[in-house]
Amino acid sequence: MTDRLSLYDPTFEHDACGVGMVADLTAKATHATVSDALTILENLEHRGATGSDVDSGDGAGLLVQMPDAFVREVFGPLVPDAGTYGVAFWMIPRHLDLPATRAAIDEVLASVGLGSIGWREVPSIPRSWVPPRPRVNQSLSSNSSLPPRRTSIWSVRCSVLARFSSIVWTSTPRRVRPTC
């Protein structure tokens, strides 16, 4: 046993992954932040960070906040004030009934005090997905009378997974199933 001064153990270093993060601590949206993030992404290419499928966006990339103007453009006039709503991405298997699935998700949202404002199907390029590709949807929800609660979002995710687990994950290997 070696004399270590910390909990770090180099024998656990076996992956070739890399993560970079850039953030503006004032939450101001600037091109400089995106430019810095792209520089990090370029510098991580040697670690395997590449866009595996350039048509669908699958692979390495940037995670940025959706601009309020874009949300208003795609969801229309029902969008509440900036900062009082959230947009969730849902990958819904094609064998599920879409209206019933959306209604079930809306019920879960309501159970934690979040109102469903609307849904949209995200445009995608069909040739870039390996069949059967899911339906990629976004839901818009809000409750301006409550402060943002990350625990609500987490409980929505877990409740939706529990509700659909017997339907969605029956043929999926356990190692790739999401957990709560």
> Which residues are catalytic, by number?
17
User: CA-to-CA distance for 44 and 38, rounded, in angstroms?
Assistant: 10
- Dihedral angle, C-alpha 21, 23, 29, 30, nearest 10 °: -70
Task: Please give the single-letter amino acid code of residue 7.
Answer: L
Torsions phi, psi for 162 (to 5 deg): -65, -40
* CA–CA gap between residue 133 and residue 66 (Å, rounded): 24
